[in-house]
Chain A
Amino acid sequence: MFDFLIHGFDVALTPLNLGLAFLGALLGTLFGALPGIGPINGIAILMPLAYTLGLPAESALILLAGVYTGAEYGGRMSSILLNVPGDAGAVMSTLDGHPLAKKGLAGPALGLSAVSSFVGATIAIIGLTLFAPLLARVAVMFGPAEFFALMVFAFSSMAVMMGKDPVKTGIGAVLGVMIAMIGVDSGTGVMRYTFGLAELYDGIDFVVMIIGLFAISEILLMLEHANRQDAGDAMPPVGRVMVSLKEVLYCKWAMLRSGVIGFIVGVLPGTGASVAGAVSYTTEKRLSDKENTFGTGDMRGLAAPEAGNNASAAGSFVPMLTLGIPGSGTTAVLLGALMLYNITPGPMLFSERPEVAGGLIASLYIGNIMLLALNLPLAGFFAKVLTIPRWVLVPAIAILAFVGVYQLHSDLMAIYLMLVIGIFGYLLRKLGFSLAPVILGYVLGGLMEDNLRRALSISGGDMGILWQSGISIGLWIAAVLLLVLPWLLPRLLPGKSPARA
Chain B
Amino acid sequence: MRIAADRILGIALIGLAAFAAFKATQFQVTFSYEPVGPKAFPILLSVVLAALSLVLVFRPGEDGAWPDKRVALKLAAVLVVLLVYALLFTRLGFLVTTFFAVLSLARLFGAGWPKALLAGVLMALGSNYLFTLGLGISLPGGHWLPDFN
Contact = CB atoms under 8 A, between A and B. Distances in A.
A220 interface: yes
Nearest to A462: B35
B81 to A, nearest CB: 8
Interface string A66-102: 0000000000000000000000000000000000000
A266 to B, nearest CB: 26
A72 to B, nearest CB: 18
A464 interface: no
A293 to B, nearest CB: 22
Interface in A440-493: 449, 452-454, 456-457, 460-461
Nearest to A171: B52
Interface stretch (A152-160, A377-385, A397-405): A397-405
Nearest to B123: A395
Interface residues of B, number: 70
A423 B76 CA distance: 10
Residue from B36, B90, B94, B131 having most chain A Cβ neighbours under 10 A: B36
A419 B87 CA distance: 12
Contacts of A457: 33-36
A270 interface: no
A202 interface: no
Interface string A156-196: 00000000010110110011011001000101101111000
B149 interface: no
Range class of the A interface residue count: 35 or more
A407 interface: yes
Interface in A400-447: 402-403, 406-407, 412, 415-416, 419, 422-423, 430-432
A49 B116 CA distance: 37
B66 A227 contact: no
B75 to A, nearest CB: 6
A432 B61 contact: yes
B48 A390 contact: no
Interface string B112-149: 00011001000100010001000111111000000000
A106 B73 CA distance: 32
Given A395-B123, A403-B139, A167 B55 contact: yes
B101 A398 contact: yes
A390 B110 contact: yes
A45 B131 CA distance: 11
B35 A460 contact: yes
Given A49-B136, A415-B89, A227 B9 contact: no
Contact of B109 (A178, A391, A454): A391
Contacts of B135: 27, 30-31, 37, 45
B56 interface: yes
B135 to A, nearest CB: 7
Nearest to B135: A45
Contact of B86 (A419, A432, A449): A419
A167 B52 contact: yes
Given A192-B38, A412-B90, 19 more contacts: A167-B52, A168-B56, A171-B56, A174-B52, A192-B42, A220-B75, A222-B109, A223-B74, A227-B74, A389-B111, A390-B109, A394-B105, A407-B137, A412-B87, A419-B79, A419-B86, A432-B61, A454-B34, A460-B35
Interface of B: 5-6, 9, 13, 20, 23-24, 27-38, 41-42, 45, 48-49, 52-53, 55-56, 59, 61-62, 64, 66-67, 70-71, 74-75, 78-79, 82-83, 85-87, 89-90, 94, 98, 101-102, 105-111, 115-116, 119, 123, 127, 131, 135-140
20 contacts: A41-B137, A45-B135, A45-B136, A167-B56, A181-B41, A187-B37, A188-B30, A193-B20, A216-B82, A222-B109, A223-B71, A227-B71, A227-B74, A398-B82, A402-B86, A402-B89, A406-B140, A407-B131, A416-B83, A430-B66
Name the 6 nearest CB pairs between A and B, nearest first. Answer: A457-B34, A391-B111, A461-B35, A395-B102, A391-B109, A185-B38
